[in-house]
Amino acid sequence: MLNDRYRPRARRRAAATGAALLTALLAVAGCGSDTADQEGAAVALEPAAPAQTLRGVCPDTVTIQMQWQPQSDQGGLFQLLGPGYRVDEETKSVEGPLVVGGKDTGVRLQLRAGGPAIGFQSVASRMYVDDSVTLGVVHGEQVIAASAAKSVVAVTPLLKYSPSILMWDPASHPDWHSIADIGRSDAPVVVSKEQIFPQWLVAKGLLKQSQIDTGYDGAPARFVADPTIAQQGFASAEPYVYEHEARAWNKPVAYDLIKNVGFDTYASNVTVRADKIDGLTSCLEKLVPIIQQSGADFAAAPADTNAKVVDIVSRTPAFNPYPAGQAEFAAKQLTELGLLANEDDGSFGTYDLSRAQRNLDELRPILVAGGAAIPPALTAEEIFTNRFTDPKIGIR
């Protein structure tokens, strides 16, 4: 994601003005006014059905650590956040009633921003440092990497595939149409050092090791200055940002999804610490299907939740601006590109364990070569589980 310190101040003011208008509209729509949210005012809600009541089986506050700031990629979680939510600018979190279909489950939901908000610590590590975190959002390759020391178990994916891309300037490279085309050149491929997929691409012969440059800092400056490079990004963000928000560029970019060349790990998995899963079993049996349904509902009708995400971001100056247009673009991209989608059996938020096992088998030697002590006997079923999912839930 682009680093906010590189955004022009005028653009920040424009985003803030638009966000203020949106907040007013949300208040009228009943999503919680500024006053209600800031003061944490109680909102009368109809109780959920007994099968979806979480009081007494889940923690009074279900705390979920996210990977980054609020965005539409996590729409299934923000769909669960009920009216009267309160944004805490200091902790970069938002808290409100945990709802299903607008009905109160009897517990609260706290969503915490990651990335710079937690010093760029990995979510899996954060879950072991901060015992108040109930669940964490972790990409599939990171679930595998974490099994070496800070083991977590993925209980449902928010996304079927990752929105990760390699992007390039189509004017500089009219002959590039895929990642394989990038690999047939000598162009630098600029990525952040914590990414795992670049080494997978090298191992598959799709890129050369000499092309990998781990100097990506989230800013558009290098791409703008040297449009001959390829650069990492997300299909749900950078194509919109570079065309509409990065004033030094303001034109389309071309890209190819990492999943199109076979790096098809599950993205944004809701995970639990491996040593806590037994103690949270009763909670997860009820909560995981609720998260599945919330994600399916968001995919079918994202507008209201997108407005909520934009409102939350607007109240925290430390966050990158997240305009309504970007939220709309992200939700549309996720569904149109098949990243937010059902499995082949029609279920949503479940795991194809054969795919998860293939991902583990391919990544294990790469991670071990990088120094990770992945248990040699580890199987995908130990770190990705359908134990709590409902296969009847799907996007309709």
For residue 244, give both structure tokens: 């509409």
Whole-number Å distance between alpha carbons of 351 and 362 = 17
For residue 13, pLDDT beyond 70: no
DSSP 112-135: E--GGGGTT--HHHHHHH-TT--E
Taking residues 285-313, what's their average pLDDT?
A: 98
Phi-psi region of 371 (alpha: psi -120 to 50; beta: other; left: phi over 0): left
Are the beta carbons of 155 and 144 closer than 8 angstroms? Answer: no
Taking residues 351-376, what's their average pLDDT?
A: 95
- Dihedral of the CA atoms 359, 361, 365, 368 (nearest 10)? 80
Are the beta carbons of 384 and 356 closer than 8 angstroms? Answer: yes
pLDDT confidence tier of residue 64, bands split at 50, 70 and 90:
very high
Quickly tell me which residue has 């630098």 as its tokens. 188
Residue 253 one-letter amino acid: V
Taking residues 169-196, what's their average pLDDT?
A: 97
Position 272 scores a pLDDT of 98
Residue 335 one-letter amino acid: T
Q: Which residues are CB-contacts of 230 (< 8 A; sequence separation ≥ 6)?
A: 166, 167, 168, 182, 187, 188, 189, 190
- The pTM score is 0.89
Taking residues 193-219, what's their average pLDDT?
A: 96
Whole-number Å distance between alpha carbons of 50 and 319 = 37
- Helix (H/G/I), strand (E/B), else coil: 388: coil
Structural domains present in the chain: 4-161+266-383 (3.40.190.10), 164-261 (3.40.190.10)
β pairing state of 103-112 and 93-100:
antiparallel
For residue 1, pLDDT beyond 90: no
For residue 387, pLDDT beyond 70: yes
Sign of CA dihedral 254, 260, 261, 267: positive
Average of per-residue pLDDT values in the chain: 90
For residue 205, pLDDT beyond 60: yes
